[in-house]
Chain A
Amino acid sequence: MHTCKVPPLPKLRLYRINTGSCNGCDVELAATEAITRFGLDRLGLSFTADPTQADLVLITGPLTVSSREKVLAEYAEVPDPKITVLIGVCPISGGAFRDSYAVVAPLDEFVPVDLNIPGCPPRPQAIVAGIAKAVQLWRGGEHPPVSPGPEEGSLTENLRGRMRYRAEACVGCRICQHVCAGGAIRFDEEEAGLGFTLWHNSCLFCGMCSHYCPTGALAPTREWDLAHRQAEKYRQVEKGVVPRIPCSACGVPMLPVVPELMKKGYRALSAETARLQTLCSECRQVRSLEGVKRCTT
C-alpha cells in the first residue's frame, strides 16, 4: 500500500472584500478563480463566502466613506491570525481616487496589511504570484512559492508593466507629471540636479506619461510581478536625477539638451546645432539672433 509520509498541507481559504472598486480587480479575481490554468488550485487555495472560515483576506478598491463601517466589520469577522493582501493600487494608495471627500484610502491606515499587489488591475498571473507570496508568509517561509504556471497563448509584447525612466533622455518638461492621473510622478530640485520619482503603488499603468513624453525618457516595461511585503511599500519607486551642466557661454547651470529633443527641434543637425546644444536658453537666444543679423545684413 502506498503511504504518504508528508501529510498534505491544509487547504487555505481566501475571502474577498470589495471596498468600492471600479470592479476591474474583482472581475480579474473572478477570472483567476474560474480559470484553472492560472494555478490557484496548485497553491492549495480555495475561496470561501464565509469570513469566519478564512485565512487570507483579499481586498480590492479604494475604501469609500460609505462602505467603511461595513468593510471594517466584515474584516473583523475573519479570525486572527490572518494574512491581508491588497489587490490593485486603490487599497494601497487610493490610486486614481486619491484626494476625494468620499474616499478614505489607503487601507493600511485602518487594518494591518501584509502584502501589496500593485496594478490597475494586476493581471491574473500577477494576482496568483502575489497570493503565492502571501501563502509563503502564512506558512512561515518553509515552503517555496509555487510558480503561477505557464502563460498559455498570451502575448506580452505590449504589456504595460512597471514604468522605466531614463534620466539621460529627460529634458525636465514635466508633461508626464501633468498627465499622470495617479499623482505618481514627482520632480524635486536636488543638489545634483532635477530629481524624478515615480511611485509604482500609485501608478495606474495607463502609459499616458510615456505617450506624451517628447523624448522617450519614460516607457512601460513588461515587468508585471510587482507584489511586495508591506514594509517595502514606499520603496517601490523609479528614481533618477538629471544632472545640471554649466552653459558653455555664461556658466549658468542648465539641464542638458538631449539629442532626442535636438532631432525634434532642427531639420538637420550640424556643428552649429551642436554648439547651440551646449548653451542655456538665454545664450541660445543671443546666439540665434546673431545668426539672424548675419543673414539680414
Chain B
Amino acid sequence: MSRTVITLGPRQLGLEEPMYFRVQTAGDRVAGLEVLAGQVHRGLEHLTLKRNFYQNITLLERLCSLCSNSHPSTFCTALEELAGMVVPPRAEYLRAVADEIKRIASHLFNCAVVAHIVGEHALFRRVMELRETVQQTKEAIYGNRMDLAANCIGGVRYDLDAGRVGYLKSQLEGLKAPLEELYRVFADDPALAAATVGVGVLTREQAQAFGVVGPVARAAGIDYDVREKSPYGAYDRLSFQVAVQAAGDVRARALVRLVEARQAVSLIEQCLDQLPEGPVALMSFPEIPAGEVIAKSEAPRGELIYYLRTDGTDLPVRLKWRVPSYPNWAALGEMLKGEPVSRIPLIVNSIDPCISCTDR
C-alpha cells in the first residue's frame, strides 16, 4: 500500500480561513495528521496589552467574528468580577439575547457549509437564506450584521423598547418552522445520512481523553454546557435542556447545532418575556483594581475561558484565552484516522473550527 504525505490548504478543505494540514496517507485513507497553524496569528495577546480595557472590548470582538459577542461579554464579565460590580438584571438578559442570536447565525453557517461540502447546493442556499433572517435581525437591532457592539463594562450598550421586542419576536417566530424542518432534513434525508452517518466518529472515551468541548463533545454523549453547569448572567433563570447526541459522527454534530439553534430561539423568547425593567449598564468608567480573574462562557463552539490579570491601571497585564477550537482540532486526528482522504473537508468542517480564535 502506498504511503505518501500531502499538504491540504483552505482551497482543498473548503474553509473560509487559511488553515493547512499535512496528511499522511495509506492508500486512499488518512493515516496521520499534523495541523500547520499560525496563518491567522495577529499577535492578539501582545495587542491586548497595548490597548486599554475600552479599546479591548472592540478589539476582542474582532478576535473572531463568528463568536464575536462571546469574547467581549466574557471579557466584560471578568472586569466586572474584578471591580466587584453587580451588573443590572436587564443587562444580563440583554447579553444573553446577543449571545443566543449569534449562536443561531454561527450554527446555521456551519450547517450551510456542511451541506455545501456534501454537494447539497440547494440545501446550502436554503440554510444561507434562513440565516439571512438572523443577519437582518442583528443589523436592525445592533447596527451591524456580524459585530454587535452590544457590551460595555457594567452592562450593555443597547436597549430594546416595545417596538424592538415586537420586531425581534416576529423574526424569531419566522425561524421556528424552518429550523424544525432543517432538523428533519439533517436527521432523515437519505442522501445526507449516507454522507454523514458513521463518518468522522469521535467516541465518548476519545472525546473525554481529548477534553473536547461544545457541540463536538455533546455529539459524543458528553452532557456539558457552561450555561447549564456553571450558569452566568441570566442563564440561571432560563430553562433549556443540554442538546446531547450519542453517535459522535458528522451528523450528530450537525443535529446538536440545529437543536441548539432552535433552543436559542426559545432562550431569547424567555429573555424577552422575563426582561426586567431598569438600567442597562452601571457607571461608565469604573475603577478596575489590581487582581486576577477567570471568566468563562459557552460560545457557539464550546467553553470559552478568559484569564485576566490587572495592576490597577486601565491596561491589562496579562490576558489569555482557552478557546473551544483548540481542544477540538487536536481531536481531528482521531476523527480522521482511517477515513478516505476525500472526506477530510467534511470532517474538518464538522467540528466548525475557528482558526482566527485559535491562531489569534
Q: Residues of A at under 8 Å CB distance from B?
A: 18, 20-24, 26-28, 30-31, 34-35, 49, 61-62, 64-67, 70, 95-97, 99-103, 120-121, 123-124, 153-160, 178-182, 204-208, 211-212, 220
Contacts A20-B18, A120-B147, A207-B157; is A212 near B284 (CB within 8 Å)? yes
Q: Which of B102-123 contact A (CB under 8 A)?
A: 109, 112
B132 pairs with A155, CB closer than 8 A = no
CA gap between A153 and B51 in the complex, in Å: 38
Q: What band does the interface of chain B fall in when counting residues whose beta carbon is under 8 Å from A? A: 35 or more
B18 pairs with A70, CB closer than 8 A = yes
Which residues of chain A are near B276, meaning CB under 8 Å? none
Chosen A-B contacts, 19 in total, with CB atoms closer than 8 Å, are: A20-B18, A20-B41, A20-B42, A20-B356, A22-B62, A24-B62, A24-B68, A27-B66, A34-B129, A65-B41, A67-B18, A96-B47, A100-B43, A121-B146, A124-B145, A154-B140, A204-B147, A205-B144, A212-B284
CA gap between A65 and B57 in the complex, in Å: 24
- Give per-residue flags for B331-360: 1 if the beta carbon is below 8 A from chain A beta carbons, else 0: 000000000000000000000001110010
Min CB distance, A177 to chain B, in Å? 10
Q: Say whether B81 faces chain A, with CB atoms less than 8 Å apart.
A: no
B10 pairs with A18, CB closer than 8 A = yes
Per DSSP, are chain A's interface residues mostly helix, strand or loop, or mixed? loop
A97 pairs with B47, CB closer than 8 A = yes
CA gap between A105 and B355 in the complex, in Å: 19
Q: From A35, A181, A207, give the contact of B59 (CB < 8 A).
A: A181
Min CB distance, B41 to chain A, in Å? 5
Which residues of chain B are near A61, meaning CB under 8 Å? 40
Min CB distance, A139 to chain B, in Å? 28
A64 pairs with B40, CB closer than 8 A = yes
A181 pairs with B39, CB closer than 8 A = no
A160 pairs with B42, CB closer than 8 A = no
Which residues of chain A are near B230, meaning CB under 8 Å? none
Min CB distance, B301 to chain A, in Å? 12
CA gap between A95 and B47 in the complex, in Å: 12
Q: From B57, B125, B141, B359, give the contact of A34 (CB < 8 A).
A: B125
CA gap between A120 and B59 in the complex, in Å: 11
Min CB distance, B201 to chain A, in Å? 27
CA gap between A225 and B11 in the complex, in Å: 30
B135 pairs with A159, CB closer than 8 A = no
Min CB distance, A87 to chain B, in Å? 13
Q: Which of B138-197 contact A (CB under 8 A)?
A: 139-147, 149, 152, 157, 167
Which residues of chain B are near A181, meaning CB under 8 Å? 51, 54-59
CA gap between A100 and B63 in the complex, in Å: 14
B16 pairs with A27, CB closer than 8 A = yes
Contacts A31-B131, A64-B42, A204-B58; is A155 near B140 (CB within 8 Å)? yes
Given contacts A27-B65, A28-B146, A207-B143, 5 further A-B contacts (CB under 8 A): A22-B68, A64-B42, A67-B18, A158-B143, A182-B58
- Give per-residue flags for B48-85: 1 if the beta carbon is below 8 A from chain A beta carbons, else 0: 00111011111101111110100000000000000000
A206 pairs with B129, CB closer than 8 A = no
Which residues of chain B are near A211, meaning CB under 8 Å? 152, 157
B40 pairs with A21, CB closer than 8 A = yes
Q: Say whether B124 faces chain A, with CB atoms less than 8 Å apart.
A: yes
Q: Say whether B229 faces chain A, with CB atoms less than 8 Å apart.
A: no
CA gap between A96 and B64 in the complex, in Å: 12
Instruction: Give B141's nearest chain A residue, CB to CB.
Output: A158
B39 pairs with A70, CB closer than 8 A = yes
Min CB distance, A36 to chain B, in Å? 8
Instruction: Give B125's nearest chain A residue, CB to CB.
Output: A34
A157 pairs with B140, CB closer than 8 A = yes
B140 pairs with A24, CB closer than 8 A = no
Task: Select the residue from B38, B42, B43, B356 with max chain A CB neighbours within 10 A.
Answer: B42
Min CB distance, B209 to chain A, in Å? 29
Which residues of chain A are near B125, meaning CB under 8 Å? 34
